[in-house]
Structure 1
Amino acid sequence: MELPVVLLSVVAAVCGCGVPSYLPYVSRVVEGEEARPYSWPWQISLESFFPTCGGTLIVPNWVLTAAHCITFHTYRVVLAEHDLNMEEGPEQSIMVDKMLVHPKWNKNCVSCGNDIALLKLQKSATISDKVQLACLPEHGATLAHNQPCYVTGWGRLYSGGPQANTLQQALLPVVDHSVCSQSEWWGSSAKTTMVCAGGGSQSACHGDSGGPLNCKGEDGRWYVQGVTSFVDGRGCNTPQKPTVFTRVASFIPWISETMAQN
């Protein structure tokens, strides 16, 4: 089906994507750091009774997140969020109308892949300097080994540590599949439909699930190349166990078709 892919391209061209009004800090710090407010304007907080996961605004009424995040019946997304404990003014809270989990997702086997879901919002977000769209990669697009990307979210600051109150970011260099699939790394758990990133002192952690792996393209725009999926059970930043993301470029046809049909 070519039409949905074309429609996605048209939406991106009309609305613009991947160019924040507030430029993010992109220093190569080893440790994670608090993000500049509104510098990742496509980042959303997914909330039921409390914040549970992250996600990415890809068109004004659609959010990309992880399938394993969908465990409750009712959700809302909050956009233009920075400090979870403060009402800062620009936040937009929108209820989720439909939750569409990838048909091959198996909740009993996260490492089997397909950890991706789409959320259709009850109304479109208002695009502003603080709420913008992330770009989607082309189907099959690849990332270079050691390419610098950034994970963002409100997850735990370290294994067993407190949840972050303010949006955090961490530099996670991409680990090529040929490395990540080696036995001393993730082995057969690393699929070609996944992206590995990190593996040193930094990683995503519990609560970051569903949020974006932000990678800057050659055109200067930011692309959501990954959806935060899983980390090692022994700890968030276990050496040679980089954070594993669902590879968005592998799922562009499903994303396009699902949005077109709903």
Structure 2
Amino acid sequence: MLMANDSSTLTYRVVLGKHDLSAEDDGSVVAEVEKIIVHEKWNSFLIINDIALIKLTEPVQESDTIQAACLPPNGLELENGYPCEITGWGRLWTNGPLADVLQQALLPVVDYATCSQKDWWGSLVRTSMVCAGGDGVVSGCNGDSGGPLNCQRDGLWEVHGIVSFGSSWGCNTVKKPTVFTRVSAYIDWINEKISEN
């Protein structure tokens, strides 16, 4: 979870290990941010290259509530129906309240061939994105943006997506799955930025 300390100075902090936003002393860790690296070709109008990295000032110790997830192999595309999990504190339903407790839901991958069909997302979805959901029951919602789509592969959890956008018709719209930035399309960019910073 990324929080602004003061909007006038644009300093940020990252809270790790948080589960319930209403709980005070829950063992979560606050980390200072050294820099935020936004993709140079990010375009908020076209919603492309919707990815950024956060460099913390100091390393964070793993614990029972703080664990690292792996990056997927470069270029990997998961098959249609692959089971993944979305997590976030976004709205519980369209125009509903924001969640206090971290929500988690199974969101199967929808392959590009399906998601790019005219009655799905059509040309709005690109190969650098991954779709998941679209059953009209479970989806990401406003406030989940930037959160992960985690998928277990070969016994390891990998971050395959970053919540990018959903339907303006409502969060749980049939054939309008949640759209994520496909992390595996940006592995070279991620490695380049890590080595430079």
The 2-side partners of 1:74 and 1:229 are apart by 23
Percent of residue pairs bearing the same amino acid type: 54
Counterpart among 7, 11, 22 of residue 74 in structure 1: 11
C-alpha separation between the residues in 2 aligned to 1:109 and 1:182?
18
After superposition, the C-alpha distances for 1:188-240 in whole angstroms (9 at most, x for unaligned) are 011000000000111101111111101010x2111100000000111111110
Aligned length: 194
Q: Residues 165-193 of structure 1, C-alpha deviation per residue, up to 9 Å, x if partnerless?
A: 00101111110100000000000011000
Name the structure 1 match of 2:139: 203
Q: Extract unaligned runs of 5+ from structure 2.
A: none
Per residue, is there more helix in 1 or in 2? 1
Mapping of 1:132-211 within 5 angstroms?
132-200=67-135, 201-211=137-147
Q: What is aligned with 2:3?
A: 47
Is residue 215 of structure 1 aligned with residue 151 of structure 2? Answer: yes
For each residue in 1:89-113, what CA deviation from the matched residue of structure 2 results, as whole angstroms up to 9, or x when unmatched?
A: 3110012110100111012222xx2
* Counterpart in the other structure of 2:24: 87
Q: CA RMSD in A?
A: 1.3
Query: Which one-letter code corresponds to 2:114 in the other structure?
Result: V
**What amino acid is the match of 1:204?**
G
What letter is aligned with 1:176?
D
AA in 1 matched with 2:2: L
Q: Deviations over 1:69-128 (max 9, x none)?
A: xxx822111001011011233110012110100111012222xx2100001011111112
1:93-104 matches, within 5 Å, as 93-104=30-41
The aligned residue for residue 120 of structure 1 is 55
Cα separation, 2, equivalents of 1:245 and 1:205: 12
Please give the secondary structure, in 2, of the residue aligned with 1:251: helix
**Deviates most, 126-135 or 139-148:** 126-135
| Cα deviations by residue, 1:123-179 (Å, 9 ceiling, x for unpaired) | 111112221100100001110100111100111101100000001011111101000
Q: Spell out structure 1 runs of 4+ moving beyond 6 A.
A: none
| CA distance in 2 between partners of 1:75 and 1:49 (Å) | 6
Q: How far 1:49 moved relative to its partner?
A: 5.0
Amino acid at match of 1:141: L
Aligned partner of 1:109 in structure 2 is 46
CA distance in 2, matches of 1:96, 1:235: 34
Aligned to 1:227: 162
The TM-score with structure 1 as length reference comes to: 0.72
